[in-house]
Amino acid sequence: MAILSGKTKAALLGPLNKDNPVIVQVLGICSALAVTAKLEPAIVMAIAVTVVVALANVIISLLRKLIPTRVRMIVQLMVAATLVAIVSELLKAYAFDVNRQLSVFVGLIVSNCILMGRMEAFALGNGPWPSFLDGIGNGLGYGWILVVLGFVRELFGSGTLLGYQIIPQIFYDAGYQNNGFMSLAPMAILLTGVIIWIHRARNKDLQETE
């Protein structure tokens, strides 16, 4: 694909693995771990963050030659807040039930460090197309972690996926029980720790030496 030169390809694919915003750059853990008890809100959250980061990157990148340096941060915050408010309005109109599960965490996308971090570090110095890909890449890099967490927690916590029963009744008759522990909030962060463990066991260069 000629459209993806070396640099733009790196902008898109890096964040999925060795540059992952959550487990390597340690950005943006705050705002969304609490919504991963079920798979559906986790997927919606992942999509919302990806869209917001990508669009915010494009807007800032288009305006990068116009924004006065002194009000740079404020402009970034306003772009972020506007996009998040739009996403929140759309969710209220087209995904009412999911929006109720996400509650305040949609609004918290605005203080997601990934969003500010990417605008500041990438979009201010690059053109719209690479910025867009960088946003998509970072959003997805963040999203796959959420989806994995949602998948594991819903499957073992409730025995369902997206609300459909997955673990057959035979298992329950034989004495299997849902692990209610998985639905509790601390499991989200414990599982993230485990993901980091696996990821770093495979990528030795990322291990910390202190």
Min dist. Cβ of residue 86 to another protein (A): 6
Task: Tell whether residue 71 is a contact of another protein (CB under 8 A).
Answer: yes
Task: Tell whether residue 7 is a contact of another protein (CB under 8 A).
Answer: no
Instruction: Tell me whether residue 16 or residue 206 sits nearer to another protein (CB atom).
Output: 206
Task: Tell whether residue 17 is a contact of another protein (CB under 8 A).
Answer: no
Q: Which window, 4-12, 67-75, 139-147, 163-171, contacts another protein (CB under 8 A)?
A: 67-75
Min dist. Cβ of residue 3 to another protein (A): 29
Q: Which window, 45-53, 132-140, 146-154, 181-189, contacts another protein (CB under 8 A)?
A: 181-189
Q: Which of 62, 162, 166, 184 binds another protein (CB under 8 A)?
A: 184
Any idea what DSSP says for residue 141? H
User: Smallest Cα–Cα separation from 17: which of 195, 209, 208?
Assistant: 195
Task: Tell whether residue 177 is a contact of another protein (CB under 8 A).
Answer: no
Are 180 and 157 in contact by the 8 Å Cβ rule? The answer is yes
Instruction: Tell me whether residue 9 or residue 199 sits nearer to another protein (CB atom).
Output: 199
Distance CA 89, CA 193 (A): 33
Distance CA 122, CA 22 (A): 17
Are 71 and 149 in contact by the 8 Å Cβ rule? The answer is no
User: Smallest Cα–Cα separation from 102: which of 56, 37, 161?
Assistant: 37
Q: Which of 33, 46, 102, 136 binds another protein (CB under 8 A)?
A: 33
Q: Is the dihedral of CA 86, 188, 162, 138 positive or negative?
A: positive
Distance CA 197, CA 11 (A): 24
Q: Which of 77, 148, 155, 167 binds another protein (CB under 8 A)?
A: 77
Taking residue 155's Cβ as centre, other Cβ atoms within 10 Å add up to: 17
Q: To 10 degrees, what angle do helices 128-158 and 186-202 make?
A: 120
Report 83-142 residues binding another protein (CB under 8 A): 84-86, 88-90, 92-94, 96-97, 100, 103-104, 107-108, 110-113, 116
Which amino acid is located at 202 in the chain?
R
The footprint of another protein (CB under 8 A) covers 23, 26-31, 33-34, 37, 66-71, 73-75, 77-82, 84-86, 88-90, 92-94, 96-97, 100, 103-104, 107-108, 110-113, 116, 180, 183-190, 192-194, 196-201, 207-210
